[in-house]
Chain A
Amino acid sequence: MTARPSGAPEAGRTKRAGNRNGTIICGGLLAAAYFCALFLVASPASALASGDIDQLKTRARSAALWQSPQWRAFLHYRGDESVIDEPKYFLSVDGKTNAEAELIASIDALFAPLSDGHAACRFAARYEWLEAELGFKGAVEPMRDCPEFRQYMEALAPRSATLVFPESYINSPASLFGHTLLRLDSQLESKLVSFAINYAARTGQEPGALYAMKGIVGMYDGYYTVHPYFKRLNTYGNIENRDIWEYELDLTEDEVRRLALHVWELRDMGAEYYFFDENCSYALLFLIEAARPRLSLTRELDAYWVIPLDTIRAIDGAGLIKSRSYRPSRATRIRSIAGELGAEHLDNAIRISSGNGGAIANIGAMELEFASEYLQYLRAEGKVGDAEYRQRLLEILGARSALGQVEYAVTEPVNPLATHLSAQASTGVGFSGGRAFGLLYARPAYHGLLDPPAGLREGASILFAQTEARLYDGSAELSRFALIDIASISPADRVFKPFSWMVSAGYRRELTSDDERPGVLWIETGGGMAAHGPLGALYYSMLRPAVKTDHEMGYALGAGLSIGALKRIDERFPASLEARAFDYMAGHKHRQMEIEFRQGVPFGAGRYSLYFSLKGSKLGAYSSTEGSVSVGRFF
C-alpha cells in the first residue's frame, strides 16, 4: 500500500507559557462575569457580549486550535482541504480550504446568543469541543433547546461502537472488497434495534453500467445515513446473503458520544463519492478519528486505493478492536441446516418450501427449520408470490412450533483480517517453447484463484492491471498486461443453483513459433456452471466467446470451451487444472488449445506465496510447452 504524504502540517497545539497564565486569568474573569450576569439577569439565555466572543477567538488563535487533529477531524480535512463539498457544512465561505477561517466563524456562530436554528443545534460536536478547549462554560447548553437533535440522541443513546463488515456475496467478485458500516449500541441488550451509520451514494434510476461508471468517477454524492441495524441485516444478511463480521471497538463512552454528535453534524452533508478512493470505508474513518483524534487512520490510508478490509486492518493496527463475532447470512444458515439433513429429507423440505408437493405431516424440526429459511430465501428472490408465501410460511411455522428446539452447527469461517494483502509483486524463472526466461510480475489488486485462500470465497477472483515482463536472452519484453481478469466460479448444489461466469481483457503474447511471440489484445467472457465433485474439488465448465487482434488478418473472433477443477488442498494450497479449446471462426480462422496446471503454495502467514505453472499449448499447427516457478509477496 503506497501512501502519499499528507500536505497538512503535523498537528499539535502550540502553547506559550506566558499566555497560558493569561488564559487562566481570562477564564477566571469570564466565569466571574457569568456568575454575576446570572445573578442579575434571571433569564436562562447565555447572552454573550461580543467582547467575550473576541476573547474566545483570541484564545483560539493563540492556541492555534485550527491545527489540532480534533478540528481537522471534524472538518474532514485530507491534506489542505475538506473532502466535504456541501457548502452548508462550513460556517465560513472559505471553510473547505481554510481551517482557521472555519474555526473563527464557528466561534462566532456557536457562541452567539441563543435563537431558533442556532448553529449549536447542528454543530453539537464542535460546540462541546470548543466549549471545553476554550474554557467556556455557558449557563445553559444551547442544544437543550434543539428538538431534532435531542430526538436523535434519545433514539441512539450511544454507549459503544462496533464496526460491521459484510463479506462478499456469491457471483459478485467485486464484493470481495467488502463493505463497512458502524453500529452504535445503547444500553439495550438487543443489537438489532441499535442504529447503524452507513456511508452511501444517493443514486438515481440509471442502468447498471452507467451506475457503476458514475460511482467510479465521483458523479454521485455520498451521504452518511443512520438507520436501525435490523434494516441493514435484512438487506446484507438476508437478501444479499452476505456473512457479517462485527468488530467491537475499544472506544470510551465519551468518545462514542462525540462520534454520535459528529454524525449529527454530517446529516445531509454530501461529498463526492468515489468508489476507489473516498468511499464508504474511508468515510467511516473520519468518524473514528473525530472520536479519537490522535489516531492517524485517514493519513495512513491517504492513498489511491482504499479497500474496506484495509480500513479494518488500520483500525486493528491501532489496537481498537476489542472482540469480534460472526453472523452467518441466510444462505449460510440454509447450507448449515442442509448439512444436518439426509438427501431425502432435504429434497422433501425443498419441495415443501417451493410448493411442489412435499409432505409436511410427521416431519422433523430440522426439516421445518430448513423449509422456513429456504421459503424466505425464495421470497427474497421473488420466486414466490406474496399471498402464497404468507400462507405457506404460517403452515411451516405452525408445524414447527409443536416440535421444541433444535440446534444446528454453523462453522465460523476464517476471520477476514487473515486475508492476504491486496497488491502483489513476484519474480521467478520459466521456459517457453524451449527458451528460458526470467519474469517479473506485479498487480495492485486484488485476489486470484491461486492466491492464499484464507478468508476469501472459493472460486471468486478479481484482478486488475496484472503486468508481467519477461527477460529472454538479455532482451526484455512485456509478456502480458491483463487489464481485468474476473472470475466467479460458484458451485451449484441441491439447494442453490447459481451460474458461473468470467470476463477478461488485455494484452498478451502468444507463441506462434519457436522464435515468434507476437502480441495480441483480447477480450473474453464466459458463462457456465460449476459443482463440487470427487476429491472435494470444484469442477466447472464454461462457454467463452472471445475476440482478439491478429497480425495476419487484423482480428480473430470465436468461442471457446473450458473445463477445469479447483481445489484448495488442505484448505491452504490452491490448485487449478484447466483445459480450454477455442475455435476462431472469423477473421484469422484457427484453433487454439491449452491445458494448464497451476499450484499456489502460501507461506509466511499469507504474506508470500510460491507459484508453479505448467502449460501445454497448440496454436494452429504449432505446439509448445511453457512452465514457470515464481515467488510473490503481498503488500
Chain B
Amino acid sequence: MKKMIVVIMALAMLVFGATAAMADNVGCGIGSEIFKGKMDTTLFQILAVTTNGILGNQTFGITFGTVGCSQPSSFASSERLNQFVASNMDAIAQDIARGQGESLDTVAELMGVEAGQRAQFASTLQSGFSSIFTSADVTSAEVIDNIAKVASLS
C-alpha cells in the first residue's frame, strides 16, 4: 500500500511537475511587469498558495536601483521615481490615457506636482499621450523626460 502511494505521488509529480521559474522580469520598457511564465500548470497554481515563494533572491528590496536602465537626461529625477516608472510602465500608460488613476497620481507626487495642480497635470498628459509614449520601445527614462516636457516641469 505504501509503495503504491509513493508510486502514485511520483507519477503525479512527473505529470504535474512545473518548475517554480518565477522570472522577476523588470526591464525599462512597456510590458516589464512580471508575468506568470512557467508557473501556470494548474496543480502548481493550486498548491502555490501553500508557501508564498520569495520574489527573486533578495529578502529586503529597499534600494531603488534600476539595473540596466538609463537615467532621465533632462528632468532631475529621483531614484524612487525612476524605479517606480520602470516597474509600472503599463499602468502609467493606461492611467495617462484614461486621464486618471493611482499610478498617475504617484508619478505626479514623485515629480513634485502640487495637489492643486494634479487635475491639470492629468489632463495635459492625456492630450499629450503620443508625445510621451512615442513608440512601443520607449524607455522609462524617456517617458519621465517626455512627461516633464509635456507638462512643462523644469
Contact = CB atoms under 8 A, between A and B. Distances in A.
Interface of A: 151-152, 155-156, 171-175, 177, 179, 188-193, 195, 198-212, 214-216, 220, 223-228, 230-231, 234-235, 238-239, 267-268, 273, 275, 280, 369, 372-373, 376, 379-382, 386-387, 389-391, 393-394, 397-398, 400-401, 404-406, 501
Nearest to B35: A380
Nearest to A168: B49
B55 A225 contact: yes
Given A211-B51, A234-B34, A190 B136 contact: no
Q: 9 shortest A-B CB distances, which residue pairs? A: A207-B17, A401-B129, A397-B97, A215-B51, A190-B106, A212-B47, A390-B136, A201-B51, A215-B50
Interface string B47-78: 11111111100111111100000000000000
B127 A203 contact: no
Contacts of A400: 97-98
A401 B100 contact: no
Contact of A192 (B47, B54, B84): B84
Nearest to B118: A189
Given A209-B43, A239-B36, A174 B49 contact: yes
Given A190-B106, A215-B47, 6 more contacts: A200-B51, A200-B52, A201-B54, A376-B90, A380-B36, A501-B42
Interface hub of B90, B110, B127, B135 (most chain A Cβ within 10 A): B90
Interface residues on B, range: 35 or more
Interface in B121-148: 126-127, 129-130, 133, 135-137
Contact of A379 (B17, B29, B35, B126): B35
Interface hub of A151, A201, A397, A400 (most chain B Cβ within 10 A): A397
Nearest to B108: A190
A189 B106 CA distance: 8
A172 B137 CA distance: 36
B102 A151 contact: no
A398 B59 CA distance: 38
A381 to B, nearest CB: 6
Contacts of A209: 9, 12-13, 16-17, 43, 47
Contact of B63 (A151, A171, A211, A267): A151
B67 to A, nearest CB: 15
Interface hub of A152, A380, A394 (most chain B Cβ within 10 A): A394
A179 B30 contact: no
27 contacts: A152-B62, A172-B48, A190-B109, A191-B102, A193-B106, A200-B51, A200-B54, A201-B51, A203-B53, A207-B17, A207-B19, A208-B16, A208-B18, A211-B44, A211-B51, A215-B47, A223-B54, A228-B84, A228-B87, A275-B50, A376-B94, A379-B35, A389-B30, A390-B30, A404-B126, A405-B98, A406-B98
A264 B107 CA distance: 28
Interface hub of B55, B59, B88 (most chain A Cβ within 10 A): B59
A156 B54 contact: no
Given A203-B20, A209-B12, A267 B49 contact: no
Contacts of A224: 59
Nearest to A263: B60
Contacts of A210: 13
B61 A381 contact: no
B88 A230 contact: yes
Contacts of A151: 62-63
A198 B115 CA distance: 31
Contacts of B120: none
Given A211-B20, A382-B35, A235 B55 contact: yes
Contacts of B30: 389-390, 393-394
Contacts of B90: 376, 393
Contact of A198 (B16, B45, B52, B62): B52
A300 to B, nearest CB: 23
A175 B80 CA distance: 32
Contacts of A152: 60, 62
Interface hub of B9, B133, B135 (most chain A Cβ within 10 A): B133
Contact of A280 (B13, B52, B98): B52
B50 A211 contact: yes
B43 A230 contact: no
A276 to B, nearest CB: 9
A219 to B, nearest CB: 10
A373 B96 CA distance: 14
A189 B109 contact: yes
A220 B52 CA distance: 11
A173 B106 CA distance: 34
Given A179-B52, A190-B110, A207-B16, A267 B59 contact: yes
Given A267-B59, A405-B98, A208 B54 contact: no
A239 B63 CA distance: 24
Given A210-B13, A225-B55, A394-B93, A205 B34 contact: no
Interface hub of B58, B94, B133, B135 (most chain A Cβ within 10 A): B94
A226 B49 contact: no
Contacts of A204: 20
A107 to B, nearest CB: 27
Contacts of A273: 51
A394 B45 CA distance: 31
Contacts of B20: 203-206, 211
Contact of A225 (B41, B44, B54, B98): B54
A373 B90 CA distance: 10
B97 to A, nearest CB: 4
A348 to B, nearest CB: 18
A387 to B, nearest CB: 7
Contacts of A406: 98
Contacts of B103: 192
Given A171-B45, A390-B29, A207 B55 contact: no
B126 to A, nearest CB: 5
Nearest to A406: B98
Nearest to A386: B31
A449 to B, nearest CB: 18
B49 A195 contact: no
Nearest to B60: A226
Interface hub of B14, B36, B50, B53 (most chain A Cβ within 10 A): B50
Nearest to B47: A212
Contact of A201 (B37, B47, B53): B53
